[in-house]
Amino acid sequence: MTESADATVIPEPMAERMSWRDRLGRAIGGDAWTIGLAVAFVALFAFTLLLRPAYGLEALAIASLPVAFAAVGQAIVVISGGIDLSIGSVIALTNSISAVLLLAAPELSVPIVLIVLLIGLLIGLVNGALVVISRVPDIVVTLSMLFVWAGAALLVLPTPGGDSVPWLEDLIDGGFVIGAVPRALVVLLVIVGLVWIPLRRSRLGLSLYAVGSNRLAAFRSGVSVARTKVLSYVLAGFFAALGGLALTASTGIGQPVPGPYLLLSVAAIVLGGVSLAGGRGGLLGPIIGIFILGLIRADMLFLGVQSAYSTVIQGVIMVVVVMLGAWVTLRRRTA
């Protein structure tokens, strides 16, 4: 029963031996869903411009930033075969902590941001360790921790309040270089890219997918399942903390009662083609998914649809998309 990751030889990707045509075919085949999403996003954006020619991506990017970080964190956990129901509470907690600390000591804003990120990592560590140690299913552990972290947020900040600092707000507000690309989008892509791209290519990243697609097979080929699971929750905690900071930056205050981040993060990973069974999907799909959901909301606002109806329409779109997605997978499997 020894778990030694060093004893395994994880096969190198065979990318070097493939021709460019194979590679293209494989990329499109594997990422067809993501490409479809991107096309849908562009079409929706064009439609939005028809409705409101002055519409820029900036407002969308800023409003979507916290949820996008939540979706990234959720996607990593789901890829490795778990689910994090506590992610909304963790966002509320880190949002509250950062707002309280920034109000108390605005001159120490840089260390405060780092401390909040560290807290996010620690929260993830606690979640992951509890999942591994208690042997209780992920969904039950994170459901319980949802209460714990939400209570902690209320302890830190009983009523909405606190403050933000200008540089944090400037970081996500406005355009980048020539102004066409929203700064919030750049921040999102740079941070996610810096964390995910090296990880995805490393042994740890591969083990996330391995554990997600088949725990037993991963264990028997020498992957430390416990360590990988903890890692996925630590990453989710880190991205949730980024979401909390993004919320502080975009709203300027702390809000101890979580918004619908859990629901949106799950919706985004489903739209983004991440299989809830684990082991399949990437991070780009969920991010585009969040932006599509945001655009749909904006479009309905511009079309004068009442917010109550727009929730129904969003829900119906989700139901139809998940049914279609499942139907397509079913056809492929039985064919």
Partner 1 sequence: MTVDAATARRQSAMAVARAWMRDRPLVPLLLLLALLVVVLQVVQPGIVTAGWVSSTLRFAIPLAVIAACQTLTMLTGGIDLSVAVVASMTAYVMATLVSDFGWFGATLVALVPAMVVGLVNGIGVGIFRVHPLIMTISMSLVVSGAVNVYARANIAGGTRVPPEITWVGGQSLFGFVPNSLLLFVPLAALILFGLRRSGYGRLLYAVGDNETAARLAGVRVSALLVVLYLISGLLAGVAGLLYAGVIGSATGRLVDPYLLPSVAAVVIGGTSIFGGRGGYAGTIVGALILTVLTTLLNVLGMPEATRQILFGAIILAVAAAYTRITEES
By beta-carbon proximity to partner 1, the closer residue of 208 and 266 is: 266
For partner 1, the binding residues in 70-99 under the rule CB under 8 A are 83
Contact assessment for residue 72 and residue 286, using Cβ atoms and an 8 Å cutoff: yes
d(CA 68, CA 290): 6
By beta-carbon proximity to partner 1, the closer residue of 202 and 329 is: 329
Exactly one of 144, 213, 221, 224 binds partner 1 (CB under 8 A); which one?
Answer: 144
d(CA 161, CA 122): 24
Least Å distance between CB 269 and partner 1?
9
Q: What is the four-CA torsion angle of 117, 212, 318, 38, rounded to 10 degrees?
A: 70
Question: Which residue in the block uniquely carries the two structure tokens 């489903």?
Answer: 270
What single-letter DSSP state applies at residue 158? S
For partner 1, the binding residues in 173-232 under the rule CB under 8 A are none
Q: What is the four-CA torsion angle of 307, 163, 287, 53, rounded to 10 degrees?
A: 60
Least Å distance between CB 145 and partner 1?
6
Helix (H, G, I), strand (E, B) or coil at 181: strand
Per CB under 8 A, the segment of 112-120, 134-142, 185-193, 218-226 that binds partner 1 is 134-142
For partner 1, the binding residues in 251-310 under the rule CB under 8 A are 263, 266-267, 270, 276-277, 306-310
By beta-carbon proximity to partner 1, the closer residue of 88 and 243 is: 88
Task: Categorise residue 92: left if φ over 0, alpha if ψ from -120 to 50, beta otherwise.
Answer: alpha
The contact set with partner 1 (CB under 8 A) reads 83, 130, 134-137, 139-141, 143-148, 150-155, 158, 263, 266-267, 270, 276-277, 306-316, 318-319, 322-323, 325-327, 329-330
